[in-house]
């Protein structure tokens, strides 16, 4: 039995401002969906369209939605019957620029999560519009007004993410909670692809002093009563203090969870040693090279392979080993204890419970882990007027607008 460190979950929010009709003007909170591409640092003004009574969006729409004024369409859908992400995908395919999903029960806002990857969710990589959940009362109000649009005029809203990402100064602090294991399916593939594609941007930002990046690795512990069991001994180091799940979920074959913990520890120490040597960005080189050369899938996931990568990058292997300490000792490991402490939410920051998790300026990022989307979110974290060129030039090239212009609560259905 392996237990996670416990904390709390924070729902990240955006703002929805009703601009018209005039008699229902006002501001409302919305919970940012953990899929698609939230427009961090920007706004979107559009017309709310409600397809039909009890429109869930669980099936493809027969045609394209268009507003009479030509403004972008913000499609309003009801919660229920299918994944949140599928609703947004069907809306995107029907021409929507954004999606608001109306809750069907009176409750606090929650985060709409990504469903587990499967052949039926291949659309996730192609989902590029923002989505948000609104409470039942606001959703019902929008529905009533949208149904009266012909008589009373279009319902115009402004979706605003300008304050969804803190932007206090000229440096952004961000962190990626990841894993050295590459046999966890699509989520592992997603992390590997992100490290490879974002490495260049990350190194430009850190070399220029614009950002401070820190990698993290989720670490569990084994309750004391179970520490002599086979499960804990195969998944944990330091006598049950630090654990990771068995990669194959089979204690009789393949790699063991404790090998993953040791490699996670090594990668944490690689970052520490690289940081001490004035090259913190070298972690990105190590992480990418390790995934290419030391793949678990190819049976090359080993201490020897990892040490070859460390040496090839010109980092001190002795310092890395000294940082790691003795995994067999009946003692605390300072590096891994710090990881367990950092997993627990505090202040405006939520508990880290899933992989991958990206945290920017102490706020958990919502959306897909993709190079352009993440760069946009990171760039939204700079104080206005202090953005580095990588933000401005990349944003212009992609047609993006980075700057501001003036208990468990995640669900996947």
Which tens digit of pLDDT belongs to each residue from 344-391? 887 767 788 888 999 999 999 999 999 999 999 999 999 999 999 999
CA distance 86 to 107: 22
Own/partner long-range contacts of 114-121 (Cβ < 8 Å, ≥24 apart) = 114/34, 114/35, 114/85, 114/368, 114/412, 115/83, 115/85, 115/86, 115/412, 115/413, 117/185, 117/186, 117/187, 121/83, 121/85, 121/86
65-87 mean pLDDT: 96
Reported as a pLDDT band with limits 50, 70 and 90, residue 42 is very high
- Rounded mean pLDDT of the chain? 90
Reported as a pLDDT band with limits 50, 70 and 90, residue 9 is low
> Closest Cα partner for 289 from 357, 394, 257, 274?
274
Q: Which residue ranges form the domains of the chain, and what is each CATH number?
A: 13-165 (3.50.30.30), 172-360 (3.40.30)
* Residue that wins the pLDDT comparison between 5 and 156: 156
Mapping DSSP to helix (H, G, I), strand (E, B) and coil, where does residue 158 land? Answer: strand
pLDDT at 301: 96
Mapping DSSP to helix (H, G, I), strand (E, B) and coil, where does residue 60 land? Answer: coil
> Closest Cα partner for 264 from 281, 280, 287?
287
**pLDDT tens digits along 217-243:** 999 999 999 999 999 999 999 999 999
**pLDDT tens digits along 196-216:** 999 999 999 999 999 999 999
94 pLDDT higher than 60? yes
pLDDT at 253: 80
pLDDT at 408: 36
Across 7-11, 42-46, 174-178, 243-247, least confident range:
7-11
The Cβ-side half-sphere exposure at 171, using a 13 Å CA radius, reads 9
pLDDT at 327: 97
329-353 mean pLDDT: 90
Q: Are 412 and 114 in contact, with CB atoms under 8 Å apart? A: yes
pLDDT at 176: 98
412 pLDDT higher than 80? no
> Closest Cα partner for 221 from 234, 231, 208, 236?
236
Whole-number Cα distances in Å, 309 to 114, 213, 290, 373: 34, 21, 7, 29
> Closest Cα partner for 84 from 59, 55, 58, 122?
58
* Residue that wins the pLDDT comparison between 60 and 413: 60
153 pLDDT higher than 80? yes
Q: Are 217 and 402 in contact, with CB atoms under 8 Å apart? A: no
pLDDT above 90 as % of the chain: 77
Q: Are 146 and 54 in contact, with CB atoms under 8 Å apart? A: no
Reported as a pLDDT band with limits 50, 70 and 90, residue 6 is very low
Across 155-159, 181-185, 258-262, least confident range:
181-185
4 pLDDT higher than 60? no
pLDDT at 402: 35
Mapping DSSP to helix (H, G, I), strand (E, B) and coil, where does residue 412 land? Answer: coil
By DSSP bridging, strand 26-32 and strand 131-134 are: antiparallel
Length of the chain: 413
The Cβ-side half-sphere exposure at 351, using a 13 Å CA radius, reads 14
Reported as a pLDDT band with limits 50, 70 and 90, residue 394 is low
Reported as a pLDDT band with limits 50, 70 and 90, residue 409 is very low
pLDDT at 405: 33
399 pLDDT higher than 60? no
Reported as a pLDDT band with limits 50, 70 and 90, residue 99 is very high
CA distance 13 to 10: 9
pLDDT at 262: 98
- Peptide bond preceding 279: is omega within 30 degrees of 0, i.e. cis? no
395 pLDDT higher than 90? no
Q: Are 12 and 409 in contact, with CB atoms under 8 Å apart? A: no
pLDDT at 3: 52
* Residue that wins the pLDDT comparison between 151 and 218: 218
């Amino acid at each position: 039995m392996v237990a996670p460190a416990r904390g709390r979950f924070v729902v990240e929010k955006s703002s929805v401002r009703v601009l018209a009709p005039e008699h229902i003007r006002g501001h409302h909170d919305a919970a940012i969906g953990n899929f698609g591409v939230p427009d961090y640092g920007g706004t979107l003004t559009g017309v709310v369209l409600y397809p039909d009574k009890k429109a869930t969006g669980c099936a493809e729409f027969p045609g394209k939605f268009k507003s009479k004024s030509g403004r972008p369409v913000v499609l309003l859908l009801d919660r229920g019957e299918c994944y949140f992400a599928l609703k947004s995908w069907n809306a995107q395919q029907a021409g929507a620029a954004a999606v608001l999903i109306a809750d069907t029960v009176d409750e606090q806002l929650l985060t709409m999560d990504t469903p587990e990857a499967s052949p039926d969710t291949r659309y996730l990589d192609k989902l590029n519009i923002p989505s948000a959940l609104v409470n039942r009362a606001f959703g019902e109000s929008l529905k009533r007004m949208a149904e009266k649009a012909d008589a009373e005029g279009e319902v115009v809203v402004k979706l605003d993410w300008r304050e969804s990402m803190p932007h206090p100064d000229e440096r952004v602090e961000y962190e990626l909670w990841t894993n050295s294991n590459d046999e966890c399916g699509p989520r592992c593939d997603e992390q590997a692809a992100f490290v490879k594609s974002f490495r260049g941007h990350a190194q430009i930002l850190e070399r220029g002093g614009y950002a401070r990046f820190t990698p993290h690795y989720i670490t569990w512990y084994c309750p004391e009563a179970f520490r002599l069991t086979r499960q804990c001994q195969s998944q944990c180091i330091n006598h049950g203090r630090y654990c990771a799940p068995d990669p194959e979920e089979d204690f009789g074959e393949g790699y063991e969870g404790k090998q993953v913990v040791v490699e996670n520890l090594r990668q944490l120490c690689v970052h520490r040693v690289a940081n001490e040597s004035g090259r913190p960005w070298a972690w990105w080189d190590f992480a990418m090279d390790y995934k290419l050369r030391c793949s678990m899938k190819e049976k090359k996931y080993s201490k020897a392979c990892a040490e070859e990568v460390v040496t090839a990058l010109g980092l001190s292997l002795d310092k890395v080993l000294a940082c790691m300490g003795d995994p067999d000792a009946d003692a605390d490991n300072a590096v891994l204890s710090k990881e367990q402490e950092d997993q627990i939410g505090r202040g405006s920051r939520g508990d880290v419970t899933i992989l991958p998790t990206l945290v920017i300026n102490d706020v958990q990022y919502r959306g897909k882990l993709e190079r352009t989307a993440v760069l946009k979110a990171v760039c939204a974290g700079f104080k206005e007027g202090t953005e580095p060129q990588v933000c401005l030039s990349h944003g212009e090239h992609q047609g993006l607008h980075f700057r501001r212009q003036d208990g468990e609560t995640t669900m996947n259905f």
